[in-house]
Amino acid sequence: MTACPVCGDASRPVLADWCSGAGGCARGYQMAGFHVVGYDIKPQPRYPGCFVNQDAMAAPLTGYDAYHASPPCSDHLRARTPVMPLHGTGWLLAACRERLEATGRPWVIECVPGAPMRADYQLCGCLYGLRNERFMIIRERWFETSWHGFTLRAPCVHDQQAAVVLTGGPWYRTPRPDRHKRYIDHATASALMGITWMTRRELGNAIPPAYTADLGADLMAQVVANPDMEAAS
């Protein structure tokens, strides 16, 4: 087991969280037992773990027990509209995968459905009860893993009004025939996502911690099973 390069904590396996954002994935990995260090090109003052303000493409390939990367999803969204332009970041997914493979350690990479990746795990809010009496989170995300993970899961069941959480604010559609867009207050959306510390924009980019708390248990098993793996030369 390594020690955190930021604070020196060596009580738990240490995970590097590349393209971390404000730490939705990080909180889930903490729940799974990891000490987490975020790397992001933008400052993240509300990040729930140790943080390094650095481009993920310059982050170290050694010194961690496990790695996670969430490259920007802008170039991989199924719905591309004038109000959601491409950001020219599509190359980052393959580049992150190449760097993750070079670490020689267990890793996870996350992106939106349709991204050019192997979807070992396809997770959605309906699998984790992310709902209240009126709304449910429908937020599918794909996860590719170094160990080609697989688990049998129940199919998605979307039996409530969908809460759509985006950077412009959380909203829902009224029933047909009008189908008007109505906004949801930030506190309600935060509770549905299981995230209490983020701004509206940060929440719109976040992954519910329940996803990585679940997946993190499998990642932890890989770390425990392979304590002597070393970074590739």
pLDDT exceeds cutoff 60 at 9: yes
pLDDT digits (tens, 9 = 90+) for 14-24: 999 999 999 99
pLDDT exceeds cutoff 60 at 178: yes
How confident is the model at residue 19, as a pLDDT?
Answer: 96
CB 125 within 8 A of CB 139: yes
Q: Give strand pairing partners of 129.
A: none
Q: Give the ranges where 12-154 is alpha helix by DSSP (H).
A: 24-31, 91-103
Q: What average pLDDT score do residues 90-106 get?
A: 94
The candidate with the shortest Cα–Cα distance to 149, out of 214, 90, 207, is 214
Q: What average pLDDT score do residues 170-176 get?
A: 89
How confident is the model at residue 87, as a pLDDT?
Answer: 56
For the chain, the domains span 14-124+140-153+205-225
Cis amide leading into 85 (omega within 30): no
Q: Give the ranges where the chain is alpha helix by DSSP (H).
A: 24-31, 91-103, 186-193, 200-204, 209-225
Q: Answer yes or no: CATH 3.40.50.150 is held by domain 14-124+140-153+205-225.
A: yes
pLDDT exceeds cutoff 50 at 232: no
How confident is the model at residue 130, as a pLDDT?
Answer: 97
pLDDT exceeds cutoff 90 at 127: yes
How confident is the model at residue 88, as a pLDDT?
Answer: 63
Q: Give the ranges where 82-199 is alpha helix by DSSP (H).
A: 91-103, 186-193
pLDDT digits (tens, 9 = 90+) for 24-57: 999 999 999 999 999 999 999 999 999 999 999 9
Residues 6+ apart with CB under 8 A from 221: none
